[in-house]
Structure 1
Amino acid sequence: MTPKPRSTPNPTPKSFVPHGFSPVMLIAIATLTFLFLSPFQKFAQGQQAPGQQFRMGERIIRVAEPGQLADSVNVWGDVGSPGRYLVPKDTRLPQLISYAFGPGTLSNQQTQLDWSKMRIEVNISEYSSDSGMETLTQFKYRMNEPLPEGMRKFKLENNQVVALQVKRRPSIIDYAQVIGPIISLVATSIILVERL
């Protein structure tokens, strides 16, 4: 008697889904991972939104010519080039903002915002060692409006701190970016609890 050759059934392909997990759960977990890691990737690449970059001057920028009387002024906040500026005496506030490459833009890969809807707040802080008090001068305006009264002629003095902040009203996209991850987290939690 000759032995019959055995026929082996074709092996079924193994699923890449781990035991106990459905493809829907894996998609939900991958989505949550992406949502939570996206801000960290932007931080690692140094692509924070300008509104979140409030840093003190890291360097000294000389605008005044050597030998010229100069004031040292700090420029912080939403400007193109924050730092400590050595500017000629009698420099006006708009000139200093121009030296710092103007107000920073609020934009990312998804949106380019309309400048006319943005508000700019300029705070000039000065410490008086005689009285021990800090004085604050503030100017607020929109980009499509003329400069506030007194800003064009505001004379800078030594050791003042000029801080710019660019603001805008939140849009529907901003609300969606906040609410979307929360809804996704709640939905994923419900799916996970039902599976357990």
Structure 2
Amino acid sequence: MTVKRLFSTVFVFLAFSPLILQAQNQPQNIMSNQFRLGDRIIRIAEPGQLADSVNVWGDLASSGRFLVPRGTTLPLLISYGFGPQTLRGETDLDWSKMRVEVNVQEYDEQNRRETIRKFKYRFEDPFPEGMSDFVVENNQTITVRVKRRPSFRDYVGVIAPVISAVATSIIIADRIAQ
């Protein structure tokens, strides 16, 4: 009986060893399906780390819903979104004339009202008071807006089409009258 038992054990081992070896050589997927995130949910916090979930909208290179570690400051959160975004289509942009507005919105369920904390600064100036150490909290919405003063080119871009349309209308009316 022992020879028979030994033979059956060796047979089972030899029969299943290719499957066992193949399973061991497969790359292990560290994140299970329960940790898979949506399209624009960006995980900064490590799995298992205490985290806050905040919305980041506006003129950032990467906006969306961020899962950040507890205690994340506002400038660090903006850095996770790759900072304020340049205005599209502009090649020679003078950042010294840029103004950045950061609004932090929060809904208070007990009092049923929304509070907004605003930070405004020029791009090359230091952060306004309270922004550097402002700690984001769960379910806040942070909006970032980059503004600049209009340049001469902007005014020409608005006025030129109007002048062109008026001149074209005068020429058409003149040709019809003749």
Matched residues in 1 for 2:95 and 2:89: separation?
Answer: 14
Larger Rg: 2
Structure 1 counterpart of 2:69, which letter? P
Structure with greater proportional helix content: 2
User: 2:168 is matched with which residue?
Assistant: 188
Matched residues in 2 for 1:151 and 1:115: separation?
Answer: 20
Work out the percentage of aligned pairs sharing the same amino acid.
Answer: 63
User: 1:70 is matched with which residue?
Assistant: 51
Structure 2 counterpart of 1:91, which letter? T
Contact 1:60 1:84 in 2 (8 A): yes
Matched residues in 1 for 2:111 and 2:39: separation?
Answer: 29
Matched residues in 2 for 1:88 and 1:186: separation?
Answer: 58
Once superposed, which parts of structure 1, at least 4 consecutive aligned residues long, lie more than 6 Å away? Answer: none
For normalisation by structure 1, the TM-score amounts to 0.69
SS in 2 for 1:185: helix
Shift of 1:186: 0.5
1:170 is aligned to 2:150: yes
Contact 1:121 1:140 in 2 (8 A): yes
Structure 1 counterpart of 2:172, which letter? L
Aligned residues: 139
1:118 is aligned to 2:98: yes
User: 1:159 is matched with which residue?
Assistant: 139
SS in 1 for 2:161: helix
Matched residues in 2 for 1:93 and 1:119: separation?
Answer: 17
